[in-house]
Structure 1
Amino acid sequence: MNTQNQHLDVFAIITNRIIEQLEKQVIPWRKPWIEGGHPQNLFNKRPYSGINTWLLGSLGYAQNYFLTFKQLKAVGASVKKGEKGTMVVFWKKLPPEQTSEDTEQQSAKTVLRYYYVFNIAQIDHLPEVVNIPYPVHPISQIGACEEIIEVMPHCPVITHGKQAAFYDPLKDRINMPKQGSFDSVASYYGTLFHELIHSTGHQSRLNRKEIVEPSKYGSEPYSIEELTAEIGACYLNSVAGIIHDEFDNSVAYIKGWIDKLRSDKRIIVYASGQAQRATDYILNVQLNAKESIEEAETAETQ
């Protein structure tokens, strides 16, 4: 049976949840989930992606292992009284005959789908296997950061000249202040990751409209690209095992994002998806090489 509620505004639900956190001075995509591990399915250990990574990671659980309702029932487990699932979303391709003008679409042939998952802390009677500590990254943080840069295909030239960090799409070049100019190594790499995400938009890489067609400061395309770069940098920080805690957390900054999200309920889902694709490119992950965990799990709920 299909459990999708056609009248449920998924964009609004996700966006309102994020706004609630921002109003509490919490920026969810920056909240590190290193200790709890990358959010993943308990049984197959496949990681969640896109916006689901930090929506699940920001919940604050000791271990970021999750299950669908069908999966937990299959092993004789049950949801603890009063506990509720967390919405997971993904884009699903539709046959041409199923698309329509009023469909909540990312493109002409995709639609936003959702289902719910439960953290192991919300479940009773699970097998003892759940008490497995999340593995620690085997190499140093600096080594992990350098490894990320080394594996990026067609990496842009990185120079250390001007005392400003920026990506120049015309020259396809990143400029960074010297590492000694930063308060910490984590701050240096966190900033570099931000610029690397921008560089993935170059026409020779992912050909992202917001980079190929530069827009004015403060415009919607500009905001989308900045949010893409910030979320993508947070993804890479997590992969490297670093915590870059020198972000702008000012009231004005947070209010700015609240206003953006309220004016466009789709921006956060869209930017998160772009950030995931940019991260996959940098990490040299083969895109579309296999079905995503979100697609696989939702099939179980229908």
Structure 2
Amino acid sequence: MKKSAFDIVLEDRKKLVERIIENMEKGYFFTKEGWNNLAVLPQNPVSNLYYKGGNRLKLMFEAIDNNYQDPRWFTFKQAQEKGWKIKKGAKGILCEKWIFTKKEKEKDEKGNEKEVEVPLPKPIVNYFIVFNGEQVEGIPPYSKTTFTKDEILKTVNNFIKSSEVKIREIAQTEAYYSPSRDEIVLPLREAFKSEEAFLRTTLHEMCHSTGHSTRLNRNQTGEFGTPSYAREELIAELGSLFTETSLGFKIEGEHFNDHSNYLKSWIGALKDDYNELFRACSEAEKASNYLLERYNTFEKTQEKTNDKTPKEKKRIIKKLKEDELEL
């Protein structure tokens, strides 16, 4: 019997989650050696859109595992239409496409016909296969803006300044976001191994802050070791990762807190339901976009006096806000 698109998508999800769990059981999320390549913001050069959510994470994994330096991914048909040729033996990656609404025509109170979007009783699932730019012959070389360490630190410091949540640095050993007080508490900067480690931890806590009831309203009541706690931590970790790459770079340095505890809680949640990763990706994308919009507004106010934001970074943030390549 031929497999349905739904079954194929779920099987592919399971493979990805099993791969991640295997990494987590060894004590890391991506490769043990770490990663530092340019291809962590997957995009389609034909449609000029960025991949989001689960598709984004899946393509990031492939780029890191294969050390791709090209962030461009597209279908066989798109390559063919451009006159590009997929290299012999190249293996494509399955991406998901979920359709939740349909367009219908209806009449307004004046009897005029208009087209509206209505929710489907059951979402339609489909999939498509994409190839990386390094698997293609004839494609123009990719060029990307790179940033110095000083530029990265300055950008993320400005990103922190854009927070609508109060951030306090005090002499204690834990970093956390308090939903009841709606504030982020961090150890003193001197307590961190590096400036980068401080910035990564702060981004993680800023992603937590988006879950407040006045913002994206996520469940943040779980105690350590519970499924809801693990889910929120996974959202914050993925959200901070998405935010870094959306800004156009990766920040080096570990979080202040012990990652092994987080990994253990994530493993349990993912083993119970491998779809949890994709739900977390969707929520992480929302959290990241919320913070990026705040940052974009902050940058606009700074432009009036001193415009030094690289044009490439502005373009990325603007495109991420406009794009609709989901899941």
TM-score (ref. length: structure 1): 0.78
- In the alignment, is the contact (CA less than 8 A) between 1:21 and 1:27 conserved in 2? yes
% identity of equivalent residues:
26
Which residue identity lines up with residue 170 of structure 2 in the other structure? G
Distance 1:287 1:216, change over 3 A: farther
1:40 partnered with 2:62 = no
Question: Larger deviation: 164-173 or 22-31?
Answer: 22-31
1:142 partnered with 2:153 = yes
Who is 2:29 aligned against? 27
- In the alignment, is the contact (CA less than 8 A) between 2:230 and 2:265 conserved in 1? no
Distance 1:33 1:116, change over 3 A: farther
Q: Of Structure 1 and Structure 2, which has the larger fraction of its residues in strand?
A: 2
Superposition RMSD in Å: 3.0
Cα distance between partner residues in 2 of 1:200 and 1:253? 19
Cα distance between partner residues in 2 of 1:176 and 1:236? 19
Distance 1:149 1:253, change over 3 A: closer
Q: Structure 2: any 5+ residue segments left out of the alignment? A: 103-117, 294-316
Which residue among 181, 205, 218 is the counterpart of 1:171? 181
Which residue among 76, 81, 97 is the counterpart of 1:74? 81
Who is 2:121 aligned against? 99
Which residue among 206, 218, 233 is the counterpart of 2:216? 206
Distance 1:6 1:15, change over 3 A: closer
- In the alignment, is the contact (CA less than 8 A) between 1:137 and 1:241 conserved in 2? no
Deviations 1:77-109 (A, max 9, x none): 332222221122354323468424xxxxxxxxx
Distance 1:83 1:286, change over 3 A: closer
Cα distance between partner residues in 2 of 1:253 and 1:202? 21
Q: What aligned pairs does 1:1-302 form with structure 2 within 5 A after superposition?
A: 5-24=4-23, 25=26, 26-28=28-30, 32=35, 34-36=37-39, 38-59=41-62, 60-95=67-102, 98-100=120-122, 110=123, 113-124=126-137, 126-127=138-139, 129=140, 131-137=141-147, 140-152=151-163, 155-163=164-172, 164-208=174-218, 210-211=219-220, 214-238=221-245, 239=247, 241-245=250-254, 248=258, 250=260, 254=263, 256-284=265-293, 290-294=322-326
- In the alignment, is the contact (CA less than 8 A) between 2:74 and 2:131 conserved in 1? yes
Question: How many corresponding residue pairs?
Answer: 274
Distance 1:68 1:151, change over 3 A: farther
Displacement of 1:150 in angstroms is 3.2
Displacement of 1:47 in angstroms is 2.2
Distance 1:294 1:85, change over 3 A: farther
Displacement of 1:232 in angstroms is 1.0
Cα distance between partner residues in 1 of 2:279 and 2:252? 24
Q: Structure 1: any 5+ residue segments left out of the alignment? A: 101-109, 296-302
Deviations 1:119-150 (A, max 9, x none): 012223x24x2x13221137612111122223
Who is 2:312 aligned against? none
- In the alignment, is the contact (CA less than 8 A) between 1:280 and 1:286 conserved in 2? no
Displacement of 1:46 in angstroms is 2.8
Cα distance between partner residues in 2 of 1:49 and 1:113? 16
TM-score (ref. length: structure 2): 0.73
- In the alignment, is the contact (CA less than 8 A) between 1:36 and 1:134 conserved in 2? no
Cα distance between partner residues in 2 of 1:143 and 1:156? 19
Cα distance between partner residues in 2 of 1:254 and 1:71? 38
Displacement of 1:43 in angstroms is 3.4
- In the alignment, is the contact (CA less than 8 A) between 1:32 and 1:58 conserved in 2? no
- In the alignment, is the contact (CA less than 8 A) between 2:231 and 2:269 conserved in 1? no
Who is 1:106 aligned against? none
Question: Larger deviation: 115-124 or 29-38?
Answer: 29-38
Give the secondary structure class of the aligned counterpart of 1:58: helix
- In the alignment, is the contact (CA less than 8 A) between 2:39 and 2:70 conserved in 1? yes
